[in-house]
Structure formats: C-alpha cells, structure tokens
Amino acid sequence: DWNLTLRIDLTSVTDDTGLLMTVHMWYDTEEPYDGCVVYASGNNASWHQLTPREGYDGTIDGSYGNPLDGVEAFLGDCGGWVSRSFDVSAYRGGMIYVLFRFVSDTSVNSYYGWYIDDVYVNATGAVENLPPVAVISAPDNASEYNTGDSIYFDGTESYDPDGTIVSYEWVSDID
C-alpha cells in the first residue's frame, strides 16, 4: 500500500467556476489484483474516491490480500503516458487534498507500478465534456488520385482536451 498526498489551494476560486484536475500518469499493474485509485478530501481526514471522466479500467480483486477488494481502479498496462481528468468543483473555495493510492496484493511483484507526472487544476467554466479535435493528414507526396487508388489517412495527431482518445473510426459514404 503506497500513498502520495498532494495539497492544492483553491481558496481563490469562489464563484461557480467548474474545476477540472488533470493528471498525467503511466501504470503497469497485475490486473486485477493491483490497482491505482484517486481520492480527495477537504480536510485531509475524510476521503472520497474521485472517478475520472474517462472511467477506471475495472475492479480490484482482493483474493490475494488486496485491501481494496471490489473498488474501481486503474488496472493493467495503460500502454504509455495517459491523461485522466477529475471534476473537483466541489472543493472550490478551500483546500483539496488529493491522495494517489497504489495497492498491491501479496503475490507477484514484477510489474512497474504507477508513475504520476503533471497534476494541474483548470477553471473550466461549467464542467462539460469537450469534443475531441480531429487532425487528419494524408500523404504529402501525391496531390492527385485516380479512381481505384488507395488513400491512407493518419489521425495520430488528434487529441481530446479532456483526456485520452480511446479509438479512431473512419467513416466514408464514397463507394
């Protein structure tokens, strides 16, 4: 059980502004027996689990001694650095304590764990889900295409201002 607590001063935010906390992280855990969970408190004593806008990966299995049996968490290998966003508007006008809790069972320990990089809170106005931004590129080496030619598009520069794009889908009505 490893804990990291961060204190963020939100006392200057007193209007109805929405607040979104974004956390850049990378994790590799033994799914579903090890997990990463984020909690918040206004007094550093009573803790409430925060749910990311993107959702957690699944539920911790306490079969091998993990004390958070049945708790939703980040599990497995996220595949690289990802961003997760949490609504922390309920803590405006005060202090927020954020607890990053990594909990493991008593078994296998060959996974890397949980790494946390940038953590920041943005005033968002009304908290809403912002749409992703599609950035599409085609090969630069051809400006003309003939019937029957294959055209390959690349959407890897696309991004979601609220978090991580989960998948891409191309839809065309051209036969």
pTM of the model: 0.69
Confidence (pLDDT) at 161 = 62
pLDDT of residue 139: 64
DSSP-derived letter for residue 77 is: B
Query: Which position has the higher pLDDT, 96 or 14?
Result: 96
User: Would you state the pLDDT for residue 41?
Assistant: 96
Q: What is the residue-averaged pLDDT of the chain?
A: 83
Cβ count near 12 (within 10 Å): 7
Per residue in 92-123, pLDDT tens?
999 999 999 999 887 777 888 999 999 999 87
CB 44 within 8 A of CB 9: no
Say how far apart CA 148 and CA 152 lie, in whole Å: 13
Predicted local distance difference test score (pLDDT) of residue 141: 59
Residue 29: Cβ within 10 Å count: 24
- pLDDT reported for residue 142: 53
Determine the Cα–Cα distance for residues 96 and 5; give it in Å rounded to an integer: 10
* Angstrom distance (rounded) from CA 135 to CA 158: 5
Q: Strand 48-49 and strand 82-87: pairing?
A: unpaired
More confident residue, 117 or 17: 117
Q: Residue 129's pLDDT is what?
A: 60
% of the chain exceeding 70 in pLDDT: 79
pLDDT band at residue 127, thresholds of 50, 70 and 90? very low
Residue 130, pLDDT > 50, answer: yes
> How do residues 41-92 score in pLDDT, each as one tens digit?
999 999 999 999 999 999 998 888 888 888 999 999 999 999 999 999 899 9
**Counting Cβ atoms within 10 Å, is residue 146 exposed (0-12), middle (13-18) or buried (19+)?**
exposed
Q: Is the dihedral of CA 46, 52, 53, 56 positive or negative?
A: negative
Confidence of residue 138 (pLDDT cuts 50, 70, 90): low
